[in-house]
């Protein structure tokens, strides 16, 4: 998806304060639109909004929740003129009702309707919903001639947004195209923004399919092969290394070819294909037997292509693959050991 926003404009924008009811914090609804004083501020806001599009993960409204409040309110802002202010207040109140967990922070909620966004050669509107929770100290120096004055300001860093959502009025019949972020999710509030407030699910594109194959392979090895065949960490690393080699050397994924290359056994390949189908079904997505492999998804999952063998509290051995270069054994006294083979030391 090619997204250009250089000629986009913020048609309407407001900011509400959303409190946490469990802490008896009040939500304060703004009653008017924000007047942007100059082009520089508008450009900075647009850069913040569309910085979301640099993220490779795309989302869509989850069609299992037909009539979900935010979905309907988003459609209202995007498709009905004159409804922005009231609907933005409805969004703030809906978010307040979802913010009862004691770990959820209060914050400023920016709601903006954006026009003239160019997506794949089509001009569309977009809706930005950004929640700012974490303020930072900023030092400002004002200079008049040879005199300077220093003051401490308290504000938000546009590059460190806590929670955000950008909804593009594109593919409306398929849940729109959504970019979503929750940078602060942890503990009991981990799902409230994505699951309770936005109700979005991952878009099944090439990036997601690439990521899903890696995860399915990892879970298959850990949950099925290791307990069934008593595999150790080196065997696990060997399989994941073959997975990495296939995904890095092939442009288009073929499930049958992948299974045979990675597991080197028709029996294990068939078991993996069955496991992968069940895994995709459990995740609620249709399975695709072929797709274009996304290198950025492979790179992001690099940590899963290696295994760490923790030996008591003395050593951590990182195994990246090639089963023949490491050997496990037991000496005459019963102590376990690993024998490593290498050609160069760096």
Question: Per-residue pLDDT tens for 206-258?
Answer: 998 998 899 999 999 989 998 888 777 778 888 888 899 999 999 999 999 99
Q: Per-residue pLDDT tens for 316-338?
A: 877 766 667 778 888 889 888 88
Decide if 248 contacts 298 (C-beta within 8 A).
yes
Q: Does 284 lie in the same domain as 224? A: yes
What mean pLDDT is predicted for residues 191-213? Answer: 90
- Per the CB < 8 A criterion, the answer to whether 204 and 288 are in contact is yes
Asked if the structure places residue 142 within a domain, the reply is: no
Do 125 and 74 share a structural domain? Answer: yes
* Mean pLDDT computed over 85-92: 98
* CA 67 – CA 90 distance, rounded (Å): 15
Answer yes or no: do 210 and 269 share one domain. yes
Q: Is position 346 within any domain?
A: no
Same domain, 50 and 105: yes
Q: Is the pLDDT of residue 186 over 80?
A: no
Instruction: Indicate the length of the chain as a whole number.
Output: 346
Please give the Cα distance from 27 to 96 (Å, whole number): 7
- pLDDT tens-place string over residues 41-76: 999 999 999 998 988 899 999 988 888 999 999 999
d(CA 338, CA 281): 40
Residues 295 and 183 in one domain: no
pTM: 0.81
Question: Phi and psi dihedrals of 130, rounded to 5?
Answer: -120, 130
Q: How many other C-beta atoms lie within 10 A of the C-beta of residue 284?
A: 11
Residues 185 and 329 in one domain: no
Residues 336 and 215 in one domain: yes
Instruction: State the Cα–Cα distance between residues 240 and 225, nearest whole angstrom.
Output: 12
- Residue 252 counted as domain residue: yes
In a domain, 298, yes or no: yes
Looking at residue 55, what DSSP letter applies?
Answer: S
Compute the radius of gyration of the chain from its Cα atoms: 26
Q: Is residue 10 part of a domain?
A: yes
**Position 141 in a domain:** no
* Residue 158 pLDDT class (50, 70, 90 cuts): confident
State the average pLDDT for the chain. Answer: 89
Q: Which residues constitute the domain of residue 232?
A: 206-340
181 shares a domain with 42: yes
156 within domain boundaries: no
Is the domain of 190 the same as that of 316? no
| One domain for residues 55 and 102 | yes
* Domain edge (last residue) among 178, 201, 224: 201
Q: Is residue 155 part of a domain?
A: no
Q: Do residues 238 and 179 both lie within one domain?
A: no
Query: What angle, 0 to 180 degrees and rounded to 10, lies between the N-to-C axes of helices 266-282 and 206-220?
Result: 120
Please check whether residue 192 is in contact with residue 94, taking contact to mean a CB–CB distance below 8 angstroms. Answer: no
pLDDT digits (tens, 9 = 90+) for 274-313: 998 888 888 766 667 789 999 999 998 877 776 677 888 7
Q: What's the rounded mean pLDDT across residues 78-96? A: 97
Work out how many domains the chain is built from and give that number.
Answer: 2
Q: Residue 41 contacts by C-beta under 8 Å, 6 or more apart in sequence?
A: none
Query: What pLDDT is recorded for position 307?
Result: 67
CA separation for the pair 70, 248 (Å, rounded): 39
- 95 and 23 in one domain? yes
């Amino acid at each position: 998806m090619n997204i250009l926003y250089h000629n986009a404009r913020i048609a309407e924008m407001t900011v509400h304060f959303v409190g946490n009811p469990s802490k008896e914090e009040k939500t304060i609804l703004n009653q008017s639109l924000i007047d942007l004083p100059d082009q520089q501020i508008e450009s900075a806001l647009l850069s913040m909004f569309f910085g979301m599009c640099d993220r490779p993960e795309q989302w869509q409204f989850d069609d299992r929740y037909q009539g979900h409040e935010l979905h309907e309110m988003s459609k209202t802002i995007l498709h009905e003129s004159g409804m922005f202010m009231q609907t933005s207040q409805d969004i703030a109140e809906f978010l307040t009702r979802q913010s009862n967990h004691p770990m959820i922070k209060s914050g400023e909620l920016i709601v903006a309707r954006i026009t003239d966004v160019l997506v794949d050669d089509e001009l569309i509107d977009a809706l930005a919903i950004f929640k700012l929770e974490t303020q930072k100290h900023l030092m400002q120096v004002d200079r008049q001639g040879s005199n300077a004055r220093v003051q401490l300001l308290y504000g938000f860093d546009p590059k460190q947004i806590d929670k955000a959502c950008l909804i593009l009025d594109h593919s409306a019949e398929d849940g729109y195209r959504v970019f979503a972020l929750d940078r602060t999710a942890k503990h009991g509030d981990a799902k409230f923004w994505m699951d309770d407030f936005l109700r979005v699910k991952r878009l099944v594109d090439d990036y997601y399919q690439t990521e899903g194959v890696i995860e399915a392979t990892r879970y298959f090895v850990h949950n099925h092969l290791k307990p069934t065949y008593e595999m150790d960490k080196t065997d696990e690393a060997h399989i994941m290394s073959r997975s990495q080699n296939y995904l890095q050397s092939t442009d288009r994924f073929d499930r049958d070819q992948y299974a045979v290359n990675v597991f080197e056994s028709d029996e294990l390949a068939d078991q993996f294909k069955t496991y992968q189908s069940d895994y995709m079904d459990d995740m609620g997505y249709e399975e695709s037997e072929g797709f274009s492999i996304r290198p950025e998804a492979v790179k992001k999952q690099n940590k899963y292509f290696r295994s760490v063998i923790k030996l008591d509290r003395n050593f951590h051995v990182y195994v990246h693959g090639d089963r023949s270069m490491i050997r496990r054994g037991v000496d005459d006294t019963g102590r376990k050991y690993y024998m490593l083979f290498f050609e160069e030391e760096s």
